[in-house]
Amino acid sequence: MMALLAQQTEAVIETAWIPNAFFFVIAAVMVLAALKMVSTKNVVHAALYLLIVLSGVAAVYIFLGAEFAAATQILVYLGAIMVLLLFGVMLTRAKLGAETDLDHDQRWIGALVGASLLAVMSYSLWDAFGGDKLPADPTPQDAPTGVKNTQLVADEIFSTYLVSFEVLSVLLLAALIGAVVVARRD
């Protein structure tokens, strides 16, 4: 939506509150879903609440003008990881209704760890970017004309981060072969 707004330059200032309002709605839904995810008594429900959180992340990426990251988020997390997770849960233990063994007595320690993580992350983010305002057009200022964000991402991956990209592909290949070896019976 932000990228779309940027094209209508005059309309940007007077309508900037619309994406802001939507952001807060989405953020509130994400926080609620995250809380429900850890407190629910059913595995499949927990997975579905996690799904809401992950799609909220994709929506926030779109607000930031990072369309490539948003599409990747949907394709990888929603379309692949969550489907595999739901598939696995339903294939093995998919009871309808509440389950008794989904809770344990370490919840307060867990809450403490979560709260301190939240404090550390929000402090460091606030410290680093607290006063910054996002530009209406997410493409960097020094980019050549006509070059969009996605192209910049591709250029960076295949020049600056080429070595780490290749190392990651080898790691994934190793994981793939490992999965085949584990799954084979003979």
Minimum separation from the CB atom of position 44 to other proteins (A): 6
DSSP assignment string, 104-165? -TTHHHHHHHHHHHHHHHHHHHHHHHTT----SS-S-TTSPTT--HHHHHHHHHTTTTHHHH
Q: Given candidates 15, 124, 160, 164, which one binds other proteins under the rule CB under 8 A? A: 15
Residue 121 CA to residue 27 CA, distance in Å, equals 16
Which part of the chain contacts other proteins (CB under 8 A), choosing from 20-28, 83-91, 100-108, 173-181? 83-91
What x-and-dash track marks residues 52-71 binding other proteins by CB under 8 A? ---------------xx-xx
- Taking CB under 8 A as the criterion, which residues in 91-130 touch other proteins? 91, 94, 96-97
Minimum separation from the CB atom of position 12 to other proteins (A): 9
17 token code pair: 């509150």
Q: How many helices (H) and strands (E) does the chain have?
A: 9, 0
Please tell me the count of residues contacting other proteins according to CB under 8 A: 36
Please identify, using beta-carbon distances, which residue of 41 and 107 lies nearer to other proteins.
41
Residue 110 CA to residue 118 CA, distance in Å, equals 12
Please identify, using beta-carbon distances, which residue of 38 and 71 lies nearer to other proteins.
71
Q: Given candidates 6, 29, 34, 44, which one binds other proteins under the rule CB under 8 A? A: 44
Q: Given candidates 40, 64, 72, 99, which one binds other proteins under the rule CB under 8 A? A: 72
> Is the Cβ–Cβ distance between 64 and 56 less than 8 Å?
no
